[in-house]
Amino acid sequence: MAQQNIYDNDEFFNSFKGIREQDINYNDMIETPILHKMLPDLTGKNVLDIGCGMGQHAKQYSDMGAKSVLGIDISEKMLAFAKEHNSAPNITYCRMAFEDLEKLSDKFDVITSSLAFDYVKDFGELMKKIHNLLVPGGKLVFSMSHPISTAYDGVYDRYTRNENGEKLYANLHNYSIEGIRKVKWVVDDYELYHRKVSTLINEMISAGFVIEECQEAKLPDDIPEEMYQKYLDMFGGIIHHPDFIFFRVSC
């Protein structure tokens, strides 16, 4: 399988880093709270974080009481940041693509991934490799871009708007045509893979997983009243289509 490494592109990395450094961003305000609520108790657990990026989640898992955390990523720039800013005695970072997971010899109690599986060409094969790395009863908890979002191919506007530019509804185009999508996000021809929800579910079941929970991105229920409009301005599109989908599955 081809190994995509867009995060070592200087322009893309600096843009992504700038987004994550903002006080209010999609990852910290929308994605991470949902992912954390779906995690099992990590106390004393051996954890693998696939596509660990800058290490924010690995450090959080360490702070939650994990016995060990292995964070893997293909990006040298992301790993360098993780080692400098999100290190701990029980965290190990390793450069590895998720296509090479079979090279790991350890077994894990919990495997997690945050918005990384969009880049894998063969999702079913990835699920099988992860299943083989979990101890009996182990759990995989992950987020990825929602298929309603990945269906977007840049051909048409993502939203239909009124005369004031307000979003009326999200446009859905070519949802049933699976495969690679190339869109402009910071760089031209940013690549990810689109799959239907049913494909994700069936591939997990085929790999031997039992699906325990599924969530979709939404605005938090506890937004302070004085912050609601700011959330709506930044994340209002989520009302029309969920940007992320989350699963917790077990062996």
Are 67 and 44 a contacting pair, CB within 8 Å?
yes
Residue type, 176: S
Q: How far is CA 87 from CA 92, 104, 191, in A?
A: 8, 21, 30
pLDDT in tens, 4-20: 566 666 666 666 666 66
Which residues have CB under 8 Å from 29's CB, separation 6+? 220, 231, 235
Tokens of 126: 């990835």
Select, from the ranges 62-66, 75-79, 152-156, 241-245, the one with the highest average predicted confidence (pLDDT).
62-66
Cα–Cα distance measured from residue 122 to residue 128, given in angstroms and rounded to the nearest whole number? 10
Of 70, 76, 79, 129, which is closest to residue 99 (Cα–Cα)?
129
Tokens of 140: 């995989």
Cα–Cα distance measured from residue 250 to residue 204, given in angstroms and rounded to the nearest whole number? 10
Domain presence at residue 40: yes
Return the pLDDT at 6.
66
Domain presence at residue 47: yes
Range(s) of the domain holding residue 53: 6-149+192-250
Q: Is 117 exposed, middle or buried (0-12, 13-18, 19+ CB in 10 A)?
A: buried
Of 112, 115, 103, which is closest to residue 6 (Cα–Cα)?
115
Q: How far is CA 216 from CA 28, 142, 147, 208, 219, in A?
A: 15, 12, 11, 23, 10
Number of helices (H), then strands (E), belonging to the chain: the values are 9, 11
pLDDT in tens, 13-56: 666 666 666 666 778 888 999 999 999 999 999 999 999 999 99
pLDDT in tens, 120-147: 999 999 999 999 999 999 999 999 999 9
pLDDT in tens, 144-188: 999 999 998 878 888 999 999 888 999 998 999 999 988 765 656
Domain presence at residue 155: no
Domain presence at residue 158: no
Domain presence at residue 170: no
Cα–Cα distance measured from residue 151 to residue 173, given in angstroms and rounded to the nearest whole number? 7
Of 123, 150, 147, which is closest to residue 1 (Cα–Cα)?
123
Q: Is 201 helix (H, G, I), strand (E, B) or coil?
A: helix
Return the pLDDT at 212.
98
Q: What CATH number is associated with residue 103?
A: 3.40.50.150
Domain presence at residue 69: yes
Q: Looking at the 3D structure of the chain, how many domains does it have?
A: 1
